[in-house]
Structure 1
Amino acid sequence: MANSEQSKKRARQSEARYAVNKARRSRIRTFVRKVEEAIASGNSEAAVEALKNAQPELARGVTKGVLHKNTVSRKISRLSSRVKALSTPAA
C-alpha cells in the first residue's frame, strides 16, 4: 500500500483518471454499438447517421489517450466499409 504522501496522491489521481477513462470507453462503445445495430437491422440511413455520430467520439478517444490512433483508424475504416456495403445494392 502507498506510504508516502506523494504515492498516496498518485493513487488518488490514478483512481480518478481510471473512472474518467472508463466512462469515456463506455461512451465510445455505446456509439459503436449503435452503428453495429443499425447495420444489423439493414437500415442504411440509420447506419450512416450512427457512423457520423460515432466518428468524432472515436477520434476524441484518441486525443484523450483512451484508445490508440491506429485502433480507432481501423475501427472507423471497417465500420464505414460495412455501412458503404449496406447502402450499395449487392451485385
Structure 2
Amino acid sequence: MKIKGLYALALVAFLTTGAYAQDTTNITARKARVKSELKEAGQNVGDAATEVARGAKRNAKVAGQAISTEADKVGNKIDRKSEEWKAKRDAKRAAKRDTL
C-alpha cells in the first residue's frame, strides 16, 4: 500500500514537472515570438518615419526653391525701381542744371 502511494506520488510529481516544463517552453516560445514581432513592428515604424522624412525633405526643398525664385524676382523688381528713381533724379538734376 505504501509503495502504491509512493508510486502515485511520484507519478503526480513527474506529471506536474512535465506540465511545468512544457508550460515554461511555451512561455519561452511566446516571448521569442513577441520579441520578434516587436522588432518587426519597430522596423516598420522606422521605415515609415524615414519615408515621411524623405517626403518632408522633398517638400522643403521645393518650397525653398520657390522662395528663392520669388526672392530673386523681388530683388530684380527692387533693382529696376531703384534704377528708375535714379534715372528720374538724374533727369531732374540735368533739367535743373540746364535751366540755370
- Per the TM superposition, whether the score is higher than 0.5 is no
TM-score (norm 2): 0.38
TM-score (norm 1): 0.42
Greater relative contact order, per chain length (Cα 8 Å cut-off, separation 6+): 1
**Which protein is richer in helix relative to its size?**
2
